[in-house]
Structure 1
Amino acid sequence: MTQKHLKYFSPILFFILMLFDAQLTQRLLSSSVWRAHLMLIVMIFATRYLPKGYMLVVSLCIGIVFDLYYLGLIGIYAVILPLIIWLVYLVHPFLFENIFNLFFGMIIFITAFESLNVSLQLIFNLITVNPLYFVTKVLGPTLLLNMGLFCLSIYPVKKIFWK
């Protein structure tokens, strides 16, 4: 796929993955606190070939849609998603050296995403959570799930986004 086609295709893909993540998290994993972040994983892959400004705008739009639909207020995901994408661009040269760097980068970015999410919700008094509970019952299982999603999605996403 050319970069021109990716610009039209990627927002639709990110939106579908956002819906898939929510359905996977809400329906299949409803008895636990595991959170799927396949959209974020694919967005990290996409930063390799899509321009920085474009990805920041797309992540802002997806963040606003996510905020409005799932939280009912604009701010949390509209801030976190562009911030994570910006951080990906900061470490871009090192991240795509090999698949292991990308794997461990994904772990760091999902940890940052979850930590920022909880921190902002704590700041605005939307939740109350014990830090030990967050690390052991939310962050740990979330990272395990997303490591599996990364391993399952690496080949198809490489076919789409990598030349």
Structure 2
Amino acid sequence: MRENWKTATLIPLLLAFFFLLDGVLTVVFSEYFLEGTKVMTPRLIILVLILMSFYIPRSKMLVYSLLFGLIYDSYYVGILGVYVLLFPLIIYLTEKLKKVLNPNPIVIGMMVIINLSLIETYLYLFYQVLGYTKINWTTFLADRLGPTLLLNLVLFIIVFYPLKKIIERIQGE
């Protein structure tokens, strides 16, 4: 009973913390994240969702991803449905990949890169169709995707072990 309470309370709080930390990092380090034409976007919430999907059942993770996708859309984007679709999609994709790959830190890091690449590419194409962005594919790859992947890889290296230990402790493993 106690484990259910811890999981039901602490996992959403942890997700909320990293959700807010995404915004705080963007504001505090904006002069570094937005240098010239280069744009680096922290995606800590996605890193946390991917990592949690290794320890928390898929049904719960899909609910959390839908909820936080809706909150992310409402708070950061203003167009409902973008992250509501993307967050559960990365949970689903991670679930499928973890069944065929041995989940160790390197493989999880590669899953993060794959998922972030898919998300950033989808967002680029979505915003291009809507007319919100006019940059070409090459500029997107060099100035947006590359720097974003690099930043998030560094963030992954920083948060992986502490976050893994916190999640394991919450789960009682």
**TM-score, normalization: structure 1?**
0.90
Distance 1:111 1:40 in 2: 12
Q: Which has the larger radius of gyration?
A: 2
1:104 aligns with 2:105: no
Secondary structure of 2:41's aligned partner: coil
After TM superposition, list the pairs within 5 Å mapping 1:61-80 onto structure 2.
61-80=67-86
The answer as to 2:58 corresponding to 1:57 is no
Contact 1:76 1:121 in 2 (8 A): no
Q: CA shift at 1:119, angstroms?
A: 1.9
Q: Structure 2 unaligned runs (5+)?
A: none
Counting matched residue pairs gives: 163
What is the rounded CA distance, in whole Å, between the counterparts of 2:103 and 2:27 in structure 1?
35
Rounded to whole Å, the distance in 1 between the matches of 2:19 and 2:65 is 11
Distance 1:3 1:94 in 2: 29
> How far off is 1:137 after superposition?
0.6
Identify the range of structure 1 (77-86 vs 115-124) with the bigger mean alpha-carbon deviation.
115-124
The alpha-carbon deviation at position 105 of structure 1 amounts to: 1.2
CA distance in 2, matches of 1:4, 1:96: 30
Q: Which secondary structure state, in structure 2, belongs to the residue aligned with residue 91 of structure 1? A: helix
**Alpha carbons of structure 1 residues 105 and 3: separation in structure 2 relative to 1, 3 Å:** farther
Structure 1 residues not aligned, in runs of 5+: none
Report matched runs for 1:79-118 at 5 Å.
Answer: 79-118=85-124
Superposed CA RMSD = 1.9
3-state DSSP class of the match of 1:49?
coil
The structural deviation recorded for 1:60 is 1.0
- Name the counterpart of 2:48: 42
Identity of aligned residues (%): 31
Structure 1 residues 3 and 126, CA, compared in 2 at 3 Å: closer, same or farther? farther
